[in-house]
Structure 1
Amino acid sequence: MSDAPRTQLRVGRLTKAHGLKGAIKLELYTDDPERRFVPGSSFSLQVPADSPWHGKHLVLRELRWYNGMPVGFFDGVDDRTAAEALLKAILWVENVDQEEAEPDAWYDHQLVGLAVVRDGRKVGEVVRVDHFPAQDLLIVRTPSGEVMVPFVQAIVPEVDVAAGVVTVTPPVGLFEEIVDDEPSTDASGEAGDASDAAAE
């Protein structure tokens, strides 16, 4: 038996009701749907606190593919109204061995505490990960406050858990205020003072 910690893995999001019998289209966050989405699989749900599904689990009856799109059928979701109540819910698999982690997938506890490095210089530290339907955000503590960094390849090209480093290539303005250092100029292109111009 493995002594590795066990935790949760995010595997999908429910996106759109399909038909009238409770089927729901899925956006997959796993490269191994044949293993994660088998009949009887149970998922914990990330839903708003006021959702009737808050704190409950969803059990898969069947996963089908329609025009290349995965569609799930779940226990207790038997009509379109029930399906629509679950839209945007994020599905998590519980008690997953860390060895089962998929490429480019990290658990929150692996990311929290990592140094955030930009151009070879530390700019902050990951303090938490916020999960949203559109994308995840790394919340980075910096000397000037917390910064929300979209956890996408273009901005976070490398995560090295062993080295304790997250490399970021953020757009200008994400970690600093954009300051206009250009002097004001008059119509002739000469730098000048507005009060002088008004006096002439």
Structure 2
Amino acid sequence: MNKATDQSVLLAQIGAAHGIRGEVRVKPFGEADMLDQYGPLHDAAGRAYEIISMRPQKTVLVVRFKGIDSREAAEALNGTELFVERSALPAPQEDEFYLSDLVGLEAVSPEGEVLGKVAAVHDFGGGDVIEIRLAGGKSELFAFTRENFPAIDINEGRMTFVPPETISAREEEEQ
């Protein structure tokens, strides 16, 4: 079994049970109709999940996994994150990337000064948010917008970061 590793990409999260026969609601973090195209998924502990069937329902998928045959078994999966190895995913097109590719990139000013490093990418429901571990060691969250991050160069390991005015004002207050 594959445990979630640095080469694992989070694809979805299992939600509530659906019905009495072991189906679950699954929130995909990418294209919903592709979830069953990558082979077995796995959780952070390495347990494999093979999709037997899936169908869209509003903003989620209703999924039946092999070996999950009761409501109780389905309920036990609530909150489980589902990963796939990066090598199972198609290569991104030119000027595209996976959000997981951003983690570890240097956040640099438009002038090239290193401001910090991308620690994580989050989605709290209002759009993607980039967590930057600033040069001083403190982490801050920033909306993943073109204004804040106008250029990304995966090959160079850096992304241009233009901090919002509120960060500059907060730093002046602390001094």
Same fold (TM over 0.5): yes
Q: Deviations over 1:141-164 (max 9, x none)?
A: 41x213143563375454321343
Counterpart-to-counterpart distance in 2, 1:95 and 1:44? 12
Where does residue 168 of structure 1 map in the other structure?
Answer: 161
Where does residue 145 of structure 1 map in the other structure?
Answer: 137
The TM-score normalised by the length of structure 1 is 0.61
Deviation of the 1:168 alpha carbon: 3.2
Deviation of the 1:16 alpha carbon: 2.5
Q: Which amino acid aligns with 1:179?
A: E
> Could you tell me whether the CA contact under 8 Å between 1:147 and 1:175 is conserved in 2?
no
Q: Check 1:96–1:169 CA distance in 2 against 1; reply closer, same or farther (3 A cut).
A: same
> Could you tell me whether the CA contact under 8 Å between 1:7 and 1:98 is conserved in 2?
no
> Could you tell me whether the CA contact under 8 Å between 1:26 and 1:71 is conserved in 2?
yes
Where does residue 108 of structure 2 map in the other structure?
Answer: 117
Bigger fraction of residues in helix: 2
Counterpart-to-counterpart distance in 1, 2:168 and 2:139? 7
Where does residue 90 of structure 1 map in the other structure?
Answer: 81
Q: Deviations over 1:82-102 (max 9, x none)?
A: 222222222111251675247
Question: 5+ residue gaps in structure 1?
Answer: 1-5, 47-53, 182-200
Counterpart-to-counterpart distance in 1, 2:89 and 2:70? 36
Deviation of the 1:55 alpha carbon: 3.0
Where does residue 36 of structure 2 map in the other structure?
Answer: 37
Counterpart-to-counterpart distance in 1, 2:76 and 2:150? 35
Counterpart-to-counterpart distance in 2, 1:118 and 1:41? 40
Q: CA RMSD in A?
A: 3.7
Deviation of the 1:116 alpha carbon: 0.8
Q: Check 1:65–1:176 CA distance in 2 against 1; reply closer, same or farther (3 A cut).
A: same
> Could you tell me whether the CA contact under 8 Å between 1:13 and 1:91 is conserved in 2?
yes
2:9 is paired with a residue whose SS is: strand
**Count of residue pairs brought into register by the alignment:** 164
The TM-score normalised by the length of structure 2 is 0.68
Q: Check 1:92–1:124 CA distance in 2 against 1; reply closer, same or farther (3 A cut).
A: same
Which of 47, 60, 76 pairs up with 1:56? 47
1:41 is paired with a residue whose SS is: coil
